[in-house]
Homo-oligomer: A and B are copies of this chain.
Amino acid sequence: MRKINFSPGPSALPETVLKRLQEGVFDYNGAGVGIFELGHRTKLFMGLVDETKDRLLKLIGASSSKYEVLFLTGGATQMFSVVPLNINTKVEKSAGYLVSGHWAKVALAEAQKFREVVAISSSESNGFKTLPEQNLDYSKYSYVHITSNNTIFGTQIKDTPKTADVPLVCDASSDILSREVKVDEFGMIYAGAQKNLGTAGVTIVIIRRDLIDANLSGLSTSLNLETYAKSNSLHNTPPVSAIVSVHEMLKWIEEEGGVSAIEERNTKKANLLYDSIDSSSAFSGYAEKEARSKMNITFKAQTEELEQNFIKFCESKNIIGLAGHRSVGGLRASLYNAITLEDVSTLVNHIKEFDAKNS
């Protein structure tokens, strides 16, 4: 039996997408072979790569003459190396990192292996319950790196920092295509697919074409963005079935009305859950209200025991994925694109029931 899955990622996919993937296991779109067997140099797959790129650019509102889409592997972790090794490496300025959470810190530490890097501002002293100062002078950096949504602490940078001519690089692993953004404000957006865009195993990169450096030497082929740009991400065998999952997920987002419709629903979902937490006696939110994420709703109960009881109570109702990250504890519900308003209503009803019993 299917469970309602509020996991932080890998996370739930829409049933429409699962149905299409399931139908494609033995024979995908008449290829005579399934999604797990599909050759990357077949006409079908090469067409699918082009279509996926076009669809992504269209959904996010980027022009294909200005931006390129690349498919990598290794997740955001690999991108933490790829970014400092590829972006404006010949500009003799420090790279600047906004430190808004755990992964932002990890990204900064990885970049320090390869070049001069500074933490522009940080909210660590507030336990990452707030966002770092963003109204700053960015002109002295070679690029600026932000993590738009902080999965562990449940905060989200809703107003993109204005970095003017300095390329803004964004790890959007946990909120890509969950809301509308002005793409032109970004030099590069990257994301693991496994939260809002598909299954684990493929990393999506949207990058301004002028930031792809064709003259990097001595760099591992697999970490060099030009490898992917000049081969249409087919330099070697890509993660075919994971890319198919992204393709099907993008089609679904289109069918649902595009990113504006998805954002509207995500806002409703988050408001519904935050309201129920705020009006309960047993629970309270973790992040400061103005910093709250619409993707990862972090909250806590009065005691750890109560939190464990709530998790068990929900599991008995076929709801999973509510434990907070092991580094901070507490509770967390991740409301990525595939989570329905009905799923959230069900959770809210259980919160009310649990609250009535325990307060």
Contacts and interface: CB of A to CB of B under 8 A. Distances in A.
Interface of A: 1-3, 5, 7, 9-13, 15, 18, 21-22, 25-27, 31-34, 36-40, 73-78, 80-81, 85, 110, 113-114, 192, 194, 198-202, 218-223, 235-242, 245, 318, 320-321
A238 B37 contact: no
Contact of A239 (B37, B73, B80): B73
A7 B18 CA distance: 26
Contacts of A81: 220-223
A73 B76 CA distance: 13
A10 B34 CA distance: 11
Copies of this chain present in the complex amount to 2
Given A18-B25, A18-B34, A236 B75 contact: yes
B78 A222 contact: yes
A318 B18 contact: no
Given A2-B33, A32-B5, A33-B2, A235 B77 contact: yes
Contacts of A21: 25, 36
Contact of A39 (B10, B113, B236, B318): B10
A240 to B, nearest CB: 5
Tell me what chain A mostly uses at the interface: helix, strand, loop, or mixed. Answer: loop
Nearest to A203: B73
Contacts of A11: 37, 39
A239 B236 contact: no
Contact of A13 (B34, B75, B77): B34
A254 to B, nearest CB: 19
A74 B75 CA distance: 11
Nearest to A80: B221
Contacts of A192: 237
Given A26-B2, A74-B222, A320 B237 contact: no
A39 B237 contact: no
Given A34-B13, A38-B10, A240 B2 contact: no
A318 to B, nearest CB: 7
